Structure formats: structure tokens, C-alpha cells
Amino acid sequence: MRTYVQRRVARVGGARRLLLLGLVGLMAIHQPGCTATAMRGGEGTDNPDLDRPAMSVTLDRDDITYLVADYLKTLEASAFWQGTINNAAQPPIVAIWPIQNATTQHLDDQLLTLLSSIETALVNTNRVRVVDRASQDALIRELGVQAGAAYDPQTAQRFGRQLGAQYLFTGKVTSVDERLNNLRRVQYSLFLQVLELETGQIRFQNEVTRSKAVKG
């Protein structure tokens, strides 16, 4: 059955008809069930666990937090950290080379978040001095290095020397994507190593993994 407004639209024409059609559209927008509902989540809200469920198989902030925390835990327990870093006369200067995206996914935003998380985690150890990311980014652009570029020893050593860094963190994110029937699983790996720029030696390296899956 047609509504009163719809019957009125049928009886008139021209400009008045366009006006009434607009009115019908507005009424439809404001009908119950047609509007989106926004909510706020996180600590201190009514939805503290909003960020916990996975929305897709793409890396999210929870995955990145896990990968960085697990890597740092192993790093701090390593012989390199316990012997060289903790026993240094003063905290050594470290820099972070762009993390390479070795997956088939578009992860630019995730890699920026990953770099920031690594930087924050290293700063909070109070055992190393981390070169400011803005300074690193400016020098990377000056050297003509693309975001997420593969590690290049000669360019990286020049990069480290100009920043006054003694150690360089470099690495990549890889993934294995599998499907079986209606299940898709993606296994991510964060591989990071610490290079001593003076000698080019690898002083520490570790790989941390995280899996995501979706049905349907």
C-alpha cells in the first residue's frame, strides 16, 4: 500500500514532484534500521575489547603489538643484548632501516605502525638511543630509498654513518597464504636482524610468527 506522501507524489509534477521525491528520500534515510551506528572502543570505554576480534586476515594493530613484543622479549634475553648492550659504557645509538614488505598484500599503513612500534619498544628499554624517525625518514628520502625497500649493505652503512648509529635494525614481513575449502589462513612472519655498522656483522636475528584465518 502506498503512503500518503507517495500518493501526493503521483498527483503532482514538475518542481513540486522533485521536492516531494526528495522528501521521500529523506524519510527513507531516517527510517529505523537504515542508519549506521558508531561506537568507541578501548580502555576506559563501554567496549574495552572492541579491538580484540579479527576483522580480516590482514595484519592489524593487535598482531603488530604481539610481533614486536615477542621479538623484543627474545632480543633482550639474547647474549648480544645481555653482553654488549647492557655492558656498554653508554647506551649505543641505533637506527631502523625501512621494513620490507615481502608479502603480496598492500601493507603501507601496517608497516608504518610496525616501525613506530619498534621505535617505541626500543626507546622504552632505556638501553639504547634511537635516532628520531623524522631524521631517519629525511635521510632515507635523500638517499633515494623507497619505503619498504630491500636491505642494501652499502646504502645502509652510509645511512648509519650519517646518523651516527652503531647498530641498524633491518628486516621484512613475509606471509604464506593457504586455502582449503571455505577456509583461508595467512601465516605472517616478522624477521628482524641487528647489524653492527662498523663491521657489517649480524649481531642478532630472530623471526616471530602470527596466523590469521577466516571462513567463508
**pLDDT 10s digits, 6-56:** 555 455 555 455 444 454 454 544 555 567 888 888 788 888 888 778 888
* Residue-averaged pLDDT of the chain: 83
pLDDT of residue 160: 83
pTM of the model: 0.76
Contact criterion met (CB below 8 Å) for 97 and 170: yes
* pLDDT per residue as tens digits for the range 169-185: 999 999 999 999 999 99
Residue 187 has pLDDT above 90, yes or no: yes
Contact criterion met (CB below 8 Å) for 184 and 178: yes
Question: What is the Cα–Cα distance from 216 to 213, expressed in whole angstroms?
Answer: 10
* pLDDT per residue as tens digits for the range 57-91: 999 999 999 999 999 999 999 999 999 999 999 99
pLDDT of residue 154: 78
* pLDDT per residue as tens digits for the range 159-171: 888 889 999 999 9
Helix intervals (H) in the chain: 4-11, 14-29, 61-77, 79, 108-123, 133-142, 153-163
